[in-house]
Structure 1
Amino acid sequence: MNEPKDNVRLAGKTVIITGAGTGIGAAAAHAFAREGASVVLVGRRHDVLEQTAVSIKAKGGTSLAIAGDVSRADDARRIVLETVQHFGRLDHLFNNAGIQGNGAPIVEMTEEAFDEIIAINLKGVWLMTKYALPSMLKNGTDCAIVNTSSFLSTAATAGTSAYSASKAGLDAMIRAIALEVGPAGIRINNINPGVIDTPMFRKHGDEIRAPLAAKAALKRLGTPEDIADVAVWLCTDEARFITGQSILVDGGFTIPGPR
């Protein structure tokens, strides 16, 4: 729902959301639009992005779909340029694009698969942040960057050698960036989701849903909206003193530790 509200927190702001066609990205696009932000949806499939953009507009929001591959410098630069040309400014960036790969053990994983995971999950965030920051610096303070990391940045399951490495690298990277951009009033944080019921998760099969939900303190899987709402909050003035942090949002899934 994107009906106008009197207390919108991001009116007049522009946000880029990568991986915005489905799952967490699509939920975040609607959530940011509800708060009055102009939303730029980024992904590799323009038709899927456009469906989300049309849905936002139908509910009174403002959106623009831009197809691109965040792991390519030319695309990252172009996405930011088109955003600023269209809306006149860039205030927030939600780096949500990511892939898990096929979960192969290291002895079976190809070098190409490893490179793709690192390129999208880690390098893609670095590139989008690199090219977004100059526009944010022109706005002065009150800009924020949020990235989708994972509980697997500090944990692992068999077959996640590349994925866990990409997310751990992301957690480390933002600490350095926070120090670099903090003096300009720009904040950067990660959200580390637990098990979230997204199209990417459903590829693992329905039989694992109930057992995983049972392991969480809240006894359910997360929803894309659970993560989207935190992403919005981190871009509001309510989170004005939070930067360089990787925030676990998992419904208590990781409390007992490995099991």
Structure 2
Amino acid sequence: MPDHGGALGGKAVIITGASSGIGAAAAQVFARQGASLLLCARREGRLRELTGRLRGQGATADFFVADVSRGEDARAMVERAMSRYGRLDAAFNNAGVAMEKAPLHLIGDESYERVMATNLRGVWNCLRHEIAAMLSCGGGSIVNTSSVGGLIASSAAAPYIASKHAVIGLTRAAAVEYAAHGIRVNAIAPGLARSEMVEAWFAHDPQAEQRACRSAPQGRAADPEEVAQAAAWLCGDQASFVTGATVPVDGGRTAW
């Protein structure tokens, strides 16, 4: 059951990329902490099912089908949250896409544009409209999903690495610009976390899990809820003096 006196009690929150993985886990975590949610993604069936499950648990939740790479979708998403709840207190901009690994010189324009459209332009679109709404509400908190790939580099994924580095730069710029207006903007940098994509990768390559888990001191993949808990903390008032930060949630990978 939701704790309406919890860390996010009374807060209206948008979560993008909410149909699976970290976003779906965040929906559960934020709901348990008392948030009123607008869940957003491109897959309506997944959103409808998750929203129904949360409502069955006593949470306040709605959904909105949106492709955040489209500015008009991001605008309509924020308008829906404002009309549904009368305010916007927090947002978790988590929507993102991965890419097939390939050497930089063999990656075509289409692959580059697809990654940048969601991972960077999507965050940009969300920030613009969320900040405008929060200015009218007297402040708020925004968390953007970057990646360990935004802090370090790896081979054969140059557009993805570039997009996630850019998310951190955008996060810092927004944090500095709007701190005086009561808006905090932070990022999380997840390492390996279990998701549909990761599980399919492990199933395809039985040795992949061992190789991947050796890349971090804790020696395992994160449960998506472990990542979502960090986002929930940053969205809440406990993190009231944290802005412009990027928090690695990576089992120690970036400590090596």
- TM-score by length of structure 2 reads 0.95
Match of 2:249 in 1: 249
Q: Distance in 1 between matches of 2:155 and 2:217?
A: 23
Match of 1:71 in 2: 69
Matched, 1:240 2:237: no
Q: Distance in 1 between matches of 2:225 and 2:210?
A: 19
- TM-score by length of structure 1 reads 0.94
Q: How big is each residue's C-alpha offset from its partner over 1:36-93, in whole Å with a ceiling of 9 and x where there is no partner?
A: 1111111111111111111111111111110011010111111111111111111111
Matched, 1:200 2:208: no
Matched, 1:181 2:178: yes
Indicate the SS of the match to 1:104.
coil
Gaps of 5+ in 2: none
Q: How big is each residue's C-alpha offset from its partner over 1:143-174, in whole Å with a ceiling of 9 and x where there is no partner?
A: 10001100111322222100000000111111
Q: How big is each residue's C-alpha offset from its partner over 1:122-156, in whole Å with a ceiling of 9 and x where there is no partner?
A: 11001111011121112213x10001100111322
Indicate which of 86, 111, 114 corresponds to 1:113. Answer: 111
**Cα displacement (A) at 1:215:** 3.4
Q: Distance in 1 between matches of 2:174 and 2:3?
A: 34
Indicate the SS of the match to 1:65.
strand
Indicate the SS of the match to 1:163.
helix
Q: How big is each residue's C-alpha offset from its partner over 1:192-226, in whole Å with a ceiling of 9 and x where there is no partner?
A: 01111111222323421123223322222111011
Q: Distance in 1 between matches of 2:2 and 2:70?
A: 36
- Write out the 4+ residue segments of structure 1 that deviate beyond 6 Å after TM superposition: none
Match of 1:49 in 2: 47
Matched, 1:190 2:190: no
Q: Distance in 2 between matches of 1:27 and 1:157?
A: 27
Percent identity reads: 40
Match of 2:36 in 1: 38
Match of 1:147 in 2: 144
Match of 1:216 in 2: 216
Q: Is the contact made by 2:248 and 2:254 (CA closer than 8 Å) also made in structure 1?
A: no
Match of 1:156 in 2: 153
Q: How big is each residue's C-alpha offset from its partner over 1:177-203, in whole Å with a ceiling of 9 and x where there is no partner?
A: 111110011100000011111112223
Cα RMSD (Å) of the superposition? Answer: 1.3
Q: Distance in 1 between matches of 2:148 and 2:3?
A: 34
Q: Is the contact made by 2:99 and 2:111 (CA closer than 8 Å) also made in structure 1?
A: yes
**Cα displacement (A) at 1:253:** 2.1
**Cα displacement (A) at 1:121:** 0.3
Q: Is the contact made by 2:120 and 2:164 (CA closer than 8 Å) also made in structure 1?
A: yes
Q: Distance in 2 between matches of 1:42 and 1:24?
A: 13
| Structure 2 letter corresponding to 1:10 | L
| Structure 1 letter corresponding to 2:232 | V
Q: Any residues of structure 2 matched to 1:74-89 within 5 Å, and which? A: 74-89=72-87
